[in-house]
Structure 1
Amino acid sequence: MTCYVFPGQGSQKVGMGETLFNEFSNETKQANEILGYDIQELCLTDPKNQLNQTQFTQPALFVVSALSYLAYQKENPTHPAYLAGHSLGEYNALFAAKVIDFETGIKLVQKRGELMSEASGGAMAAIIGMSATNIAKTLASNNLTGIDIANFNEPNQTVISGQENDIKKAQKIFEEAGVRRYIPLAVSGAFHSRYMEPSKKAFETYLESYIFSEPTIPVIANVTANPYTQTDIKTLLAKQITHSVKWVDSIAYILNKQESDLIEIGPGKVLTGLINKIKKGIETNAVTH
């Protein structure tokens, strides 16, 4: 059984998509018209240093991963048993499942990126070398109740999200508790936390005008770690902004069905590394463009 997974923010890099833009010139032109800027220039040379800004990162990653998927499908036309994406990557999974078309995907992630980039005053940090259960206990015992768990990435890598002062305060506490590493992340807001509620509400309103198709392939939702149904797509896409990315549980859901080959489609190999740690010994490949 094969499953395709798509990366999220943090996998972007200058030069991504180099082999794709000319091959898929019509889609590239369509992306340029929707976004109002040259997506190829942004991804290949980033002349204005915008690629790491959320409102540009999200459309760029969606386009490159979508084109990577189309290229991979040319060579491997069989359909996977499951699809999943990490945060932003979930939109690529929905594209691959024909829930949304290319144009709709670009419009959705452009709006999502704009709304998320408006969040300020928040911070995030990755904690390596402590289980999510012990992280939650440490937060509670130190009265850090304003911090949420944003990403359950792998058994020993969890991302927390909250106000900047709380994330700074937590660093000393976790380092004294013996974590391997505490890494503040270069983000503009407290993504996947309660502090993104204004962005979530605005996105909820934006989603009202869209009609989504039934998934042709099961897509595992970040919020629930279960497959989407047609009726919960809008609700879950909005909730994803304020809720944890349950990546460990999502991969576990797929692996519990039967032995799987998980293939990462899009720039980088971040998810391949996480999946290897979630399930050591599984054959995990990466398709990088």
Structure 2
Amino acid sequence: MTRIFVFPGQGSQARGMGKDLFDSFRDMEREADEILGYSIRTLCLDDPDGNLVRTQYTQPALYVVGAMAYRRRVEQLGDTPEFVAGHSLGEYNALFAAEAFSFTDGLKLVRQRGALMGNASGGGMAAVVGEDITNIREMLAEAGETTIDLANHNSPRQSVLAGPKEALERVAPYLESRKGVRVVPLNVRTAFHSRYMAPTKAEFGAYIAGFKLSPLMLPVISNLTALPYRDDEIAHNLVQQIDHPVRWVESIQYLLQEPEPTFEEIGQGTVLTKLIEEIRRVPLPVNIARRY
């Protein structure tokens, strides 16, 4: 059996998350409070000001809960997994698990990432449900929509588009003209994982350059390449991830080639578990790249 831990990203947050973790990991709570300048427990459990949906708060909250959940699960098992992967923000938890950086350095990176992404504006995102990614690309080309990017490939029949809101609204009826296709606007005001995040990527690149990153102790699957990280790619991949798509389907298909792959979602929610179930139902492509 190959044990694989996966960590969810933004969108999985919920008030009350981590309620069974904070009392057990007070050291991590204290460190988080010191770095963030507010009570992470209050944000996650009570969210009195409604900040949990704001990117600059969502990302640190999910990272902290994911890191605590990872420590708890490793303590329970008495061992680490064979592979780790994370969806977008969740990749930081995967890298923490692999000891690329300390809990506190990871939180500093996530805090800056969340702040930069939270300050970005313009554009939007929409999920396309019920169609495969090849047909979506073809339909966008047929519609002449050159300003929209594919931001996430989450499952064989669920992808996320990012771009100007007017373009997303314009193309939605065309996509929905295909039987069984639904387009669901997402409640964001920024086109994450698209070309429109290039300025944010540049700022984050300057910030991460000040951190020392360590060789990985576990294989981590990269959102950018859908392959295991090399030690010299950590900063580069995290920077590029900001304006490149999350290749979740390919990442899971890579891992499905391992002997008896067993996936376990660590952190808040079961979003990734459901996506992985969908990906498992589709036959693997004939030629999937292998790095090792």
Do they fold alike, i.e. is TM over 0.5?
Answer: yes
Verify the 8 A CA contact 2:175 2:181 in the aligned structure 1.
no
- 5 Å-filtered alignment, 1:26-175, equals 26-175=27-176
Letter in 1 for 2:22: F
In terms of mean alpha carbon deviation, does 170-179 or 264-273 score higher? 170-179
Which residue of 2 is the match for residue 280 of structure 1? Answer: 281
**Structure 1 residues not aligned, in runs of 5+:** 282-289
Verify the 8 A CA contact 1:130 1:157 in the aligned structure 2.
yes
State how far apart, in whole Å, the 1-side matches of 2:38 and 2:78 are. 31
Q: Secondary structure at the match of 1:159?
A: strand
State how far apart, in whole Å, the 2-side matches of 1:178 and 1:127 are. 12
1:202 equivalenced with 2:239 (yes/no): no
Which residue of 2 is the match for residue 11 of structure 1? Answer: 12
State how far apart, in whole Å, the 1-side matches of 2:98 and 2:119 are. 30
Verify the 8 A CA contact 2:216 2:231 in the aligned structure 1.
yes
Verify the 8 A CA contact 1:127 1:179 in the aligned structure 2.
no
Which residue of 1 is the match for residue 288 of structure 2? Answer: none
State how far apart, in whole Å, the 1-side matches of 2:281 and 2:212 are. 39
Verify the 8 A CA contact 1:196 1:241 in the aligned structure 2.
yes
In terms of mean alpha carbon deviation, does 193-202 or 19-28 score higher? 19-28
How far off its partner does 1:257 sit? 2.6
How far off its partner does 1:178 sit? 2.7
State how far apart, in whole Å, the 1-side matches of 2:189 and 2:45 are. 23
Which residue of 1 is the match for residue 286 of structure 2? Answer: none
How far off its partner does 1:230 sit? 1.3
How far off its partner does 1:180 sit? 3.0
State how far apart, in whole Å, the 2-side matches of 1:124 and 1:38 are. 30
1:229 equivalenced with 2:219 (yes/no): no
Letter in 2 for 1:261: T
Verify the 8 A CA contact 1:14 1:45 in the aligned structure 2.
yes
State how far apart, in whole Å, the 2-side matches of 1:86 and 1:170 are. 26
The percentage of counterpart residues that share the same residue type is 47
Which residue of 1 is the match for residue 188 of structure 2? Answer: 187
What per-residue deviation string (whole Å, max 9, x for no partner) do you get for residues 201-259 of structure 1?
00000011111111100000000001111111111000000000000000011111322
RMSD, matched Cα: 1.0
Which residue of 2 is the match for residue 286 of structure 1? Answer: none
State the TM-score, normalized to the length of structure 2: 0.95
State how far apart, in whole Å, the 2-side matches of 1:245 and 1:179 are. 24
Letter in 1 for 2:267: G
In terms of mean alpha carbon deviation, does 165-174 or 31-40 score higher? 165-174
Q: What is the count of residue pairs matched by the alignment?
A: 281
State how far apart, in whole Å, the 2-side matches of 1:7 and 1:73 are. 17
Letter in 1 for 2:266: I
State how far apart, in whole Å, the 2-side matches of 1:17 and 1:210 are. 28
State how far apart, in whole Å, the 1-side matches of 2:216 and 2:188 are. 32
State how far apart, in whole Å, the 2-side matches of 1:267 and 1:87 are. 14
How far off its partner does 1:101 sit? 0.8
Q: Secondary structure at the match of 2:151?
A: strand
Letter in 2 for 1:215: L
State how far apart, in whole Å, the 2-side matches of 1:40 and 1:104 are. 19
1:269 equivalenced with 2:239 (yes/no): no
State how far apart, in whole Å, the 2-side matches of 1:202 and 1:221 are. 21
State the TM-score, normalized to the length of structure 1: 0.96
